[in-house]
Amino acid sequence: MTMIQAVIRPEKEQEVIDSLEKSGIYGYTRQSVFGRGRQRGIQVGPVRYEEMAKVWLMIVAEDEKSDRVIDAIKVAATTGNPGDGKIFVSRLAEARTIRK
């Protein structure tokens, strides 16, 4: 299994979710977060924003579906500007359901 975590722009959230669903991926965990990347925030006039609002998505998928998940996120989340986000991919040793 593979865990795919993506940090994306909040305004792209619904597009990414729609893209995942079109790819047959329905399960995810979503959280609103704040952070910054290499740009260390942004300057808008005299105001400097050190941290930006982002959405963090976590998806666990079978290995054979991981490329489909990554492609769906990349296509839907891209604006072509700095701050589009990051995708983190890691192997997952095990996942267990809590219910009996």
Give per-10-residue mean pLDDT for the chain (100 aa): 96 96 94 83 76 93 94 94 90 89
Q: What is the predicted pLDDT for the residue at 9?
A: 94
For all residues of the chain together, what is the average pLDDT? 91
What single string gives the DSSP state of each residue in 12-76?
Answer: GHHHHHHHHHHTT----EEEEEEE--TT-SEEETTEEESSEEEEEEEEEE-GGGHHHHHHHHHHH
Count the Cβ atoms, other than its own, within 10 Å of residue 51.
12
In degrees, rounded to 5, the angle at the alpha carbon of residue 70 between the alpha carbons of residues 66 and 75 is 150
Q: What is the predicted pLDDT for the residue at 44?
A: 76
pTM: 0.84
